[in-house]
């Protein structure tokens, strides 16, 4: 078993340098963020972005999020607006992704943005990814580091599960603190949430002091349309299991201990539930259960984001 995980590295100056050099050359790497792990490549280099799409088996019409160190780095690529500035000041770096208009002079490869006139940008908070972003003079295109349509990885070993040695570098930055993907908000017209996350729409509304657009955005998040977040076994949403070969994902203190019961949060804390969601789905799959049953969580705050993932997983 020696060297089984030889492409998983602890973070230090040596691996930082190695990662920076390989990203500059157009190679890709599995890197930690506070939401989920990402598969990173130079967003200005078509060949790097192509590698990301290929290895993930991701449809080319599904654009990638472009990651930056700070607001100082984005001027060339996106058109700023007041709503963006307000949200940036309050939540960044952090688990919020903004869809903005792409500038004509932007160097982001059109492959990364699926030929759209918009671009999704994020400023991740995890100190390792910030360290890397600080050392490079290009942004990172970085989808979650999983095969397309599967659940996102929350540690280096989850990344390894999907890609094995096909990735030369996976950096181990511990378990992702948040555990589900960032909130995606379209700011090109009146604000609209395209993907719910731990930063809730009420927090965003409070910060912007505005109402959200009720009309359907033409600019739906392309990745939100299809089957997604599949844990590898069928998920049945809104029902209880009939026998113990089926796992039951529960939430809150009213559940007793059973071998096939997995509690997202005994203290009924929705943030804790989000952190545990993908971890528990992976454990259930590894234990050999044939199906996952799960009841709807309270549909408020982070609960909205969790129900969104569960519903899609059940699709
Ligand atoms: O937390 C996260 O956001 C993670 C970490 C690694 O940063 N990344 C992530 O990327 O979840 P990905 O590729 O798995 O999801 C990106 C989502 C997709 O639903 C995609 O369709 C949407 O963002 N998206 C990207 N560019 C867009 C655009 N220009 N307009 C609308 N949606 C866009
Ligand atoms: Mg993803």
The domain ranges of the chain are 8-208, 235-314
Instruction: Please tell me the number of the ligand nearest to residue 143's CA.
Output: 1
pLDDT at 165 (0 to 100): 97
CA of 171 to the centre of ligand 2 (A): 18
Site to probe by mutation for ligand 1, drawn from 32, 53, 78, 144 as the one with most ligand atoms within 8 Å of Cβ, is 144
pLDDT digits (tens, 9 = 90+) for 11-27: 999 999 999 999 999 99
Q: Is the CB of residue 100 less than 8 Å from the CB of residue 125? A: no
Instruction: Please tell me the number of the ligand nearest to residue 221's CA.
Output: 1
Question: From the CB of 147, is ligand 1 less than 6 Å away?
Answer: no
Q: How many CA atoms lie within 13 A of 22 on its CB side?
A: 16
Residue nearest to atom 31 of ligand 1 (CA): 221
Ligand 1 closest atom vs CA 39: 6
Residue nearest to atom 13 of ligand 1 (CA): 143
CA dist., res. 106 & res. 102, Å (int): 7
Question: From the CB of 62, is ligand 1 less than 6 Å away?
Answer: yes
Asked if the model's pLDDT at residue 105 lies above 90, the reply is: yes
Instruction: Please tell me the number of the ligand nearest to residue 222's CA.
Output: 1
Question: How many beta carbons lie within 10 A of that of residue 254, not counting itself?
Answer: 8
Nearest CA among 183, 182, 223 for reference residue 36: 182
**Mean pLDDT computed over 156-175:** 98
Output the six-digit token pair for 205.
């509304």
Query: What are the phi and psi torsion angles at 210 (to 5°)?
Result: -145, 165
Q: Spelled out in words, what is the top-level CATH class assigned to the domain 235-314?
A: alpha beta
CATH architecture classification, 8-208? Alpha-Beta Complex (3.90)
**Mean pLDDT computed over 114-139:** 98
Domains 8-208 and 235-314 share a fold: no
CA of 240 to the centre of ligand 1 (A): 32
Q: For residue 74, give the DSSP letter.
A: -
Question: From the CB of 146, is ligand 1 less than 6 Å away?
Answer: no
CA of 245 to the centre of ligand 1 (A): 35
pLDDT at 210 (0 to 100): 81
**Residue 293 β-bridge partners:** 236, 248
**Axis crossing angle, helix 302-313 with helix 270-286, rounded to the nearest 10:** 20
pLDDT above 70 as % of the chain = 95
pLDDT above 90 as % of the chain = 90
Instruction: Please tell me the number of the ligand nearest to residue 226's CA.
Output: 1
Site to probe by mutation for ligand 1, drawn from 97, 155, 217 as the one with most ligand atoms within 8 Å of Cβ, is 97
- Give the pTM: 0.96
Residue nearest to atom 29 of ligand 1 (CA): 119
Q: Is the CB of residue 152 less than 8 Å from the CB of residue 144? A: yes
Question: From the CB of 222, is ligand 1 less than 6 Å away?
Answer: yes
Which of 92-101, 111-120, 236-245 shows the lowest per-residue confidence on average (mean pLDDT)?
236-245
Residue 222's pLDDT band, with cuts at 50, 70 and 90, is low
Query: What are the phi and psi torsion angles at 206 (to 5°)?
Result: -60, -40
**Axis crossing angle, helix 270-286 with helix 156-163, rounded to the nearest 10:** 40
């Amino acid at each position: 078993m020696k060297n089984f995980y030889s492409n998983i590295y602890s973070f230090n100056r040596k691996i930082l340098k190695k990662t920076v050099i390989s990203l500059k050359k157009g190679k890709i790497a599995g890197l930690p963020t506070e939401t989920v792990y990402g598969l990173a490549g130079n967003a200005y280099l078509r060949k790097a972005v192509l590698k990301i799409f290929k290895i993930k088996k991701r449809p080319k019409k599904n654009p990638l999020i472009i990651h930056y160190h700070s607001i100082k780095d984005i001027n060339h690529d996106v058109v700023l607006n007041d709503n963006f500035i307000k949200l940036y000041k309050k939540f960044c770096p952090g688990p919020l992704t903004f869809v903005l208009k792409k500038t004509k002079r932007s160097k982001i490869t059109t492959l990364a943005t699926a030929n759209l006139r918009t671009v999704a940008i994020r400023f991740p908070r995890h100190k390792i990814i910030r360290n890397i972003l600080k050392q490079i003079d290009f942004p990172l295109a970085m989808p979650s580091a999983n095969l397309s349509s599967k659940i996102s990885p929350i540690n280096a070993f989850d990344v390894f599960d999907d890609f094995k040695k096909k990735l030369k570098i996976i950096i181990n930055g511990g378990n992702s603190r948040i555990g589900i993907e960032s909130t995606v908000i379209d700011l090109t017209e009146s604000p609209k949430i395209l993907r719910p996350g731990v930063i809730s729409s009420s927090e965003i509304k409070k910060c912007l002091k505005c109402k959200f657009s009720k009309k359907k955005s033409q600019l739906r998040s392309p990745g939100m349309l299809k089957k997604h977040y599949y844990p590898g076994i069928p998920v049945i949403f809104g029902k209880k299991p009939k026998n113990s070969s089926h796992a039951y994902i529960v939430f809150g203190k009213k559940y007793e201990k059973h071998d096939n019961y997995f509690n997202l949060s005994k203290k009924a804390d929705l943030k804790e539930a989000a952190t545990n969601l993908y971890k528990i789905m992976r454990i259930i799959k590894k234990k050999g259960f044939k199906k996952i049953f799960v009841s709807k969580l309270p549909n408020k705050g982070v609960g909205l984001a969790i129900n969104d993932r569960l519903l899609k997983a059940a699709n």
